């Protein structure tokens, strides 16, 4: 039987935990009108939230929905600030419990990991083979992962970690936010956590039951590396079977086995044995964004610090791969002519 945790509710609804959740939720949003309104009657708002949680009368507000087109078209469902406080209060207590049961080589939405470490792990696996070995890669992916997450299956996985009845009420309320039996909204902290919880059994199946050594997962993108093509065909069959029958997910038709001949496109990089390169589409997006921000700055619509933040982000990304000339080319196309908010 899996180890479960109880006695979590009092810590979750404590004023201290709610205040800490509010402090975390407002980071990066201090000047938001929604945050300022919440802060105007901070103590009253936190006590009101606390009471709704105590009496199980809390209900999530409708999401604010918008579409983003990078890296692909996705519907983002942003929670209100009030709900983000509840999300952080929940995560602060149960997040570490769920994450303690996740395998070492899952990298999404876990502090201290992330896409760069996932890319480095894949590179480490490639380097573990002799240079003359012909290598192959399973590139696995789910079709519409967040919208297809089955609530019944996810709730069962939550109950493998939490047995506190009050926490299970809140967990179910967060999972059922959309009022349907499938799907989690992209853009909310619990959704990121639950997306990892939902695939944790698959990770353990691949690593523990099948004994796969060279396996990495980042959100719903998973890879397996081997020099044995027939072995990978068998693993792909078993992995696909597990995802469809057990987790009730739809495997992307793009899931396939490919020879590693021109690098591995994974987690934002083109990964080679001795080095990494940036994804070309990432550079194109960065260039378009910087040119647009520079134009806004030149019109006096944004301060130059906004442009500098985007430049710093590009430089940080490029510092981990061979991209020096590409970055120079991008920055040479960004021209700041001045504006009422621009400063040198």
Identify the pLDDT of residue 187.
84
The residue among 69 and 80 whose pLDDT is bigger is 80
Q: Which of 182-186, 230-234, 334-338 has the lowest mean pLDDT?
A: 334-338
**Can the peptide bond before residue 71 be classed as cis, meaning omega within 30 degrees of 0?**
yes
For residue range 71-88, list pLDDT tens digits in order: 666 667 789 999 999 999
Distance from the Cα of residue 8 to its chain's centroid: 25
- Distance between CA atoms of 48 and 80, rounded to whole angstroms? 15
In angstroms, the first-to-last Cα distance of the chain is 62
Topology of domain 105-149+184-274, CATH: Alpha-Beta Plaits (3.30.70)
The residue among 29 and 199 whose pLDDT is bigger is 199
pLDDT above 70 covers what percent of the chain? 94
pLDDT above 90 covers what percent of the chain? 71
- Distance between CA atoms of 86 and 79, rounded to whole angstroms? 10
Nearest residue to 90 via CA among 157, 153, 18, 160: 18
- Distance between CA atoms of 225 and 68, rounded to whole angstroms? 32
Identify the pLDDT of residue 337.
81
Average pLDDT, the chain: 91
Task: State the pLDDT confidence band at 70, using cuts at 50, 70 and 90.
Answer: low
* Mean pLDDT of the 281-310 span: 89
- Dihedral pair phi/psi, residue 224, rounded to 5°: -135, 135
For residue range 118-174, list pLDDT tens digits in order: 999 999 999 999 999 999 999 999 999 999 999 999 999 999 999 999 999 999 999
pLDDT at residue 3 greater than cutoff 70: yes
Identify the pLDDT of residue 259.
95
Identify the pLDDT of residue 300.
87
Q: Where in the chain is the domain with CATH 3.30.70?
A: 105-149+184-274
Identify the pLDDT of residue 159.
97
* Mean pLDDT of the 291-318 span: 89
For residue range 101-124, list pLDDT tens digits in order: 999 999 998 989 999 999 999 999
Task: State the pLDDT confidence band at 41, using cuts at 50, 70 and 90.
Answer: very high
Q: Where are the alpha helices (DSSP H) in the chain?
A: 9-13, 15-25, 33-40, 42-54, 81-99, 115-127, 145-148, 151-158, 165-175, 189-204, 229-245, 280-298, 304-318, 324-332
* Mean pLDDT of the 230-256 span: 95
Identify the pLDDT of residue 2.
79
């Amino acid at each position: 039987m899996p180890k479960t945790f109880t006695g979590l509710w009092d810590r979750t609804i404590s004023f201290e935990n709610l205040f800490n959740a509010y402090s975390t939720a407002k980071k990066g949003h201090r000047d938001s009108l929604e945050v300022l309104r919440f802060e105007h009657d901070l103590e009253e708002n936190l006590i009101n939230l606390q009471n709704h949680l105590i009496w199980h009368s809390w209900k999530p507000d409708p999401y604010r929905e918008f579409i983003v087109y990078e890296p692909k078209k996705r519907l983002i469902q942003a929670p209100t600030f009030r709900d983000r406080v509840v999300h952080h209060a929940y995560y602060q207590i149960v997040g570490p419990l769920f994450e303690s049961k996740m395998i070492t080589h899952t990298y999404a939405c876990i502090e201290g990991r992330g896409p760069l470490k996932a890319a480095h792990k894949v590179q480490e696996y490639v380097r573990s083979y002799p240079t003359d070995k012909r290598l192959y890669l399973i590139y696995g992916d789910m079709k519409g992962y967040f919208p297809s997450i089955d609530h019944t299956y996810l709730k069962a996985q939550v109950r493998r970690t939490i047995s506190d009845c009050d926490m299970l009420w809140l967990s179910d309320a967060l999972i059922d936010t959309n009022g349907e039996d499938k799907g989690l909204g992209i853009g909310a902290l619990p959704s990121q956590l639950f997306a990892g919880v939902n695939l944790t059994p698959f990770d353990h199946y691949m690593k523990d039951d099948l004994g796969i050594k060279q396996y990495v997962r980042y959100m719903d993108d998973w890879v397996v590396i081997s020099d044995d093509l027939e072995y990978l065909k068998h693993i792909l069959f078993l992995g696909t079977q597990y995802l469809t029958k057990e987790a009730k997910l739809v495997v992307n038709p793009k899931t396939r086995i490919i020879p590693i001949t021109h690098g591995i496109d994974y987690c934002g990089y083109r990964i080679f044995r001795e080095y990494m390169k940036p994804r070309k589409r990432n550079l194109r997006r960065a260039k378009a964004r910087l040119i647009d921000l520079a134009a806004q700055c030149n019109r006096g619509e944004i301060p130059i610090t906004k442009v500098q933040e985007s430049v710093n982000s590009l430089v940080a990304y490029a510092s981990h791969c061979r991209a020096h000339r590409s970055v120079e080319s991008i920055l040479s196309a960004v021209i700041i002519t001045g504006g009422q908010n621009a400063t040198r």
